[in-house]
């Protein structure tokens, strides 16, 4: 008789799929690498076929791709049961995997993590940094438990608004336009434009569209720190969210652009499945004090 699939096997599959390797999965689960390998091998014996391609990184096989969503649901449900059982004896417990854009990780999350640690000492929050367009997919796939989404559509009950983050021109402090209170995007035409491909491109293009100004970026840069370094070196100028202020060297400045364009930030759990009790507690505890504080932290200049 084929052995039954158990939760440890499914938890190992999810960990290897998410981290890309057996060693990283072992660190994630707090067990040895042989234990992870044994659990995955036992799962494959139970199913009668491989669920992972061994490599760098490890990837799910076609069977693994079909099993993985059910494995995530089982692991999340088990965590929810444990959290419910322990909630009555001292508050929420467990681990919350939280995804957010780079600028949010830099500017807003440190304050939120500090507040959550004080209010919910038995909850561990693990941060995953991603691009704007990746976060919703991670959340709905179960790769993370909560996410800060940009310009999200209809959100489930319990989601928290973190405010609006306006687009600013990024310039060296010695740039002729650096001292102006605002800059029309047409005024940037004489400079080489460095475009961040991280997720704000549509906001930048919208500003130029509203202005009726041709948009011709000279360089396309994926990493935000690389882009800031290039502006700092005098290669060109850029436009980025106000939250990037915390990432800038002293001789770079952000100046609000015209036409004004902003992005909205929302912290939420998934729409397609129940939230874990720990996620619900973290977000419920933000209304209204912590959420208002986070929104107040979005700089306007």
Question: How many angstroms separate the Cα of 131 from the Cα of each of 56, 100, 141, 146, 149?
Answer: 22, 8, 16, 15, 10
DSSP 176: T
Distance CA 194, CA 227 (A): 7
Closest CA to 116 of 94, 131, 84: 94
Q: pLDDT (tens digit, 9 = 90+) per residue, 219-251?
A: 998 888 899 999 999 999 999 999 999 999 999
Interhelix angle 62-87/277-284, rounded to 10 degrees, is 60
20, 143 Cβ separation under 8 angstroms: no
Q: Which of 169, 174, 193, 167 is nearest to 251 (CA)?
A: 174
The H or E element spanning position 94 is: strand 94-100
Q: Which domains does the chain have, with CATH numbers?
A: 7-81 (1.10.10.10), 88-163+264-296 (3.40.190.10), 164-263 (3.40.190.290)
Whether residue 210 contacts residue 284, with contact meaning beta carbons closer than 8 Å, is answered with no
> What are the φ and ψ backbone dihedral angles of 153, each rounded to 5 degrees?
-75, -150
Residue with tokens 């720990």: 278
Interatomic CA distance for residues 280 and 260, integer angstroms: 34
Burial class (CB in 10 A: 0-12, 13-18, 19+), 4: exposed
Q: Which residues contact 239 (CB under 8 A, 6 or more apart)?
A: 167, 168, 169, 170, 185, 188, 200, 203, 204, 207, 257
Output b/e per residue, 223-248; b: 16+ Cβ within 10 A: ebeebbebbbeebbbbbbbbbbbebb
SS3 of residue 5 by DSSP: coil
Coil vs helix vs strand at 104: helix
pLDDT tens column, 154-196: 888 889 999 889 999 999 999 999 999 999 999 999 999 999 8
Query: How many CA atoms, within 13 angstroms, populate the side-chain half-sphere of residue 32?
Result: 3
Query: Would you say 12 and 41 are in contact if contact means Cβ atoms under 8 Å apart?
Result: no
pLDDT (tens digit, 0 to 9) for every residue of the chain, 301 residues total? 457 888 889 999 999 999 999 999 988 887 788 889 999 999 999 999 999 999 889 999 999 999 999 999 888 888 777 666 655 656 677 889 999 998 999 899 999 999 999 888 888 999 999 888 889 888 888 889 999 999 988 888 889 999 889 999 999 999 999 999 999 999 999 999 999 876 788 899 999 999 999 899 999 988 888 999 999 999 999 999 999 999 999 999 999 999 999 999 999 998 877 888 889 889 987 754 444 444 444 443 3
CB 64 within 8 A of CB 13: yes
CA angle 92–113–85, rounded 5-degree value: 10
In 151-300, where do the E strands start and end? 160-172, 183-184, 194-196, 219-221, 238-241, 252-258, 262-268
According to DSSP, the residues that pair with 256 across neighbouring strands are 168
> What stretch of H or E contains 277?
helix 277-284
Q: Which two tokens stand for residue 151?
A: 């310009």
Lookup result for tokens 């608004």: 161
- pTM for the model stands at 0.69
């Amino acid at each position: 008789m084929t052995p039954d699939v158990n939760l440890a096997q499914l938890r190992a599959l999810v960990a290897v799929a998410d981290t890309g390797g057996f060693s990283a999965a072992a660190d994630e689960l707090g067990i040895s690498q042989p234990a992870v390998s044994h659990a995955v091998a036992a799962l494959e014996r139970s199913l009668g076929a491989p669920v992972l391609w061994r490599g760098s990184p490890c990837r799910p096989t076609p069977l693994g791709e079909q099993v993985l969503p059910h494995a995530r649901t089982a692991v999340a449900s088990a965590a929810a049961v444990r959290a419910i059982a322990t909630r009555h004896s001292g508050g929420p417990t467990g681990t919350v995997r939280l995804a957010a854009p780079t600028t949010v990780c830099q500017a807003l999350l440190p304050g939120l993590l500090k507040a959550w640690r004080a209010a919910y000492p038995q909850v561990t929050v693990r941060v995953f940094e991603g691009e704007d367009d990746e976060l919703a997919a991670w959340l709905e796939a179960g790769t993370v438990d909560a996410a800060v989404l940009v310009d999200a559509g209809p959100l489930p009950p319990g989601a928290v608004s973190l405010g609006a983050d306006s687009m600013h021109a990024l310039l060296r402090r010695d740039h002729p336009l650096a001292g102006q209170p605002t800059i029309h995007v047409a005024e940037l035409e004489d400079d080489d434009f460095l475009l961040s491909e991280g997720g704000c491109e549509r906001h930048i293009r919208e500003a130029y569209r509203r202005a009726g100004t041709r948009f011709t970026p000279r360089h396309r840069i994926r990493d935000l720190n690389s882009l800031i370094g290039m502006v700092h070196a005098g290669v060109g100028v850029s436009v980025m969210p106000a939250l990037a202020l915390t990432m800038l060297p002293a001789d770079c400045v952000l100046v609000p652009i015209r036409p004004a364009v902003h992005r909205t930030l929302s912290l939420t759990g998934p729409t397609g499945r129940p939230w874990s009790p720990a996620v619900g507690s973290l977000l419920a505890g933000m209304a209204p004090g912590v959420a208002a504080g986070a929104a107040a932290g979005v700089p306007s200049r």
